[in-house]
Amino acid sequence: MTEKSLRGLFKKTYKFLPEVSSSAPGRINIIGEHTDYNQGYVLPAAINSRNYFLGSTRDDNRVFIWAENFKEEENFSLKNISYSKQKRWINYIKGIFWILKKEGFLLQGINGLLWGNIPLEAGLSSSAALEISVINCLDELFKLNLTKEKKAFLAQKAENDFVGVKCGLMDQFISAFGQKDKAMFLDCETLHFDLIPLNLEKVNLKILVYDSQVRRQLASSQYNKRRQEAELALSYLKKNGYEGFKDVNSEALEKIRKRMDGITYKRARHIISENMRVKRAVRALRDDDFLLLGDLLYLSHESLRDDYEVSCPELDVLYEAGKDFSGCLGARLTGAGFGGSGIALVKNEKVEDFKKKVLEIADKKLFHEPKIYEISVGGGANAYSVSKERKR
């Protein structure tokens, strides 16, 4: 759907035009997985798929939302914002209102409409795109004067504390700050970031997103368990004089290996080696060295599969296909894992052949037929006033 058609749908739904139109992108993470909440390095990029949220103020404290993707309406009162077990999607919106109220911002009810073309629960951060699109809309509607950084922080806090998913900051940050044809090298501890040109057209490459069709519910998955295991690994490092994972290299970890149990050691090894891979990937992008970048993608998948143990057979299909295909430079799972998506770096002229190979392997293994998308790197979130037409 176009923004124009969404405005028409809003008017059909509520009998007047929206006051604000907002949108925010999903993301791929090129490399740097499970390092964001461990105060490490990540290298995400915004994608051209987005979530759209249109809104208009009301004269009361009720919030009415029409979700076009689900053909569902939900409403709630700002006086009683409670978690919904029936409709999970509304919790991401409720969470934004909840955190803004908790921060002391004065809000009133709205009529809202949401629609997005980001594949849901596929590891492409549709949840962060929804959160950022909503908080951008409310910022514009109620003149909250929030910075991009503040919006990302509040959106993350809403997902952590209201929705119950202990995500890191990366997804909300890249959704807010992303730029077209650039990747973001982000230090999740200091929040310092550099935007790195991603010259895919120059070298005749495409990024494919492979949706395994294996759906996972992050709030009830082993994701939070991995966070707990990482915290335990960090406690071991601190007992041995290190402040954080970024302060440790592989050699230093080996010296204290015998003081850690096997699982904790493996979790630490992934985080430490992944931080190193992100820094090498940044140098590769600066040099347009996509062969090196591809090798790093494979190494990242191996570490996520073996040390962090967040892959699954359906995601391993992409890695296996890439390793055995001359037109694929690199492939790995992206996102939290336990299902969801992967990415592959493929030569333009080999894209269709690679898709065919991946589908053949999945079919032979009797997996659900995966979906494969060609994506481009898009811009970050935006919001603007549409109409001052008086609501009814």
Which residue, among 43, 6, 9, has the nearest Cα to 280 in the 3D structure? 43
61 has pLDDT over 80: yes
| CATH code at 225-303 | 3.30.70.890
Q: How far apart are CA 27 and CA 119, in angstroms?
A: 11
CA 54 from centroid of its chain's CA atoms: 21
Work out the average pLDDT over 85-94.
Answer: 94
Spatial contact of 329 and 291, defined as CB atoms under 8 Å apart: yes
pLDDT at 336: 85
109, pLDDT greater than 70? yes
Residue 303 has what pLDDT? 98
Q: Which residues contact 365 (CB under 8 A, 6 or more apart)?
A: 313, 317
- Average the pLDDT over 11-38 and give the result: 96
Of the residues 36, 60, 161, 171, which is catalytic? 171
CA 181 to CA 193: how far, in whole Å? 16
Least confident among 22-31, 41-50, 161-170, 286-295? 161-170
pLDDT in tens, 119-155: 887 778 899 999 999 999 999 999 999 999 999 999 9
- Asked if 176 and 378 count as a contact pair (C-beta separation under 8 A), the reply is no
Q: Which residues contact 189 (CB under 8 A, 6 or more apart)?
A: 39, 40, 244, 246
User: What's the pLDDT score for residue 219?
Assistant: 45
Amino acid identity for residue 199 in this structure: N
The predicted structure's pLDDT at residue 215 = 77
In the chain, what are the domain boundaries?
3-194+378-385, 199-222+310-376, 225-303
Q: Mean of the pLDDT values across residues 206-218?
A: 84
Check pLDDT > 90 for residue 266: yes
Among this protein's residues, is 295 annotated catalytic? no
Q: What CA–CA distance (Å, rounded) separates 312 from 310?
A: 7
Tokens 């730029």 belong to 179
Rounded Cα distance, 38 and 186, in Å: 13
Most confident listed range (16-30, 219-233, 376-390): 16-30
Distance, CA of 36 to CA of 291 (rounded, Å): 25
- Given a cut of 60, whether residue 389 has pLDDT beyond it is no
Q: What pLDDT was estimated at residue 392?
A: 37
> Residue 106 and residue 102: Cα distance in Å, rounded?
10
Give the rounded percent of residues in the chain with a pLDDT score beyond 70: 97
- Give percent of the chain with pLDDT exceeding 90: 89
Q: Residue 161: is its pLDDT beyond 60? A: yes
Please give the C-alpha separations between residue 201 and each of 30, 80, 124, 197, 284, in angstroms, as whole numbers: 16, 50, 22, 11, 16
Mean pLDDT value across residues 321-349: 94
pLDDT band of 184, cuts 50, 70, 90: very high
Do the domains 3-194+378-385 and 199-222+310-376 sit in the same CATH topology, yes or no? no
The dotted CATH code for 3-194+378-385 is 3.30.230.10
pLDDT tens digits, one per residue of 66-76: 999 999 999 99
CATH fold of 199-222+310-376: Alpha-Beta Plaits (3.30.70)
8 A C-beta contact, residue 165 and residue 209: no
Cα 5 off chain centre by: 26
- Separation in Å, CA 255 to CA 168, 211, 245, 392: 29, 39, 15, 69
> Average pLDDT, whole number, for the chain?
94
Query: Given this model, what pLDDT does residue 340 score?
Result: 86
Sheet with 341-347, edge to edge strand ranges: 328-334, 341-347, 205-211, 371-375
**Is pTM, for the whole model, over 0.75?**
yes
4: confidence class by pLDDT, cuts 50, 70, 90: very high
Tens-digit pLDDT profile for residues 215-243: 765 545 678 899 999 999 999 999 999 99
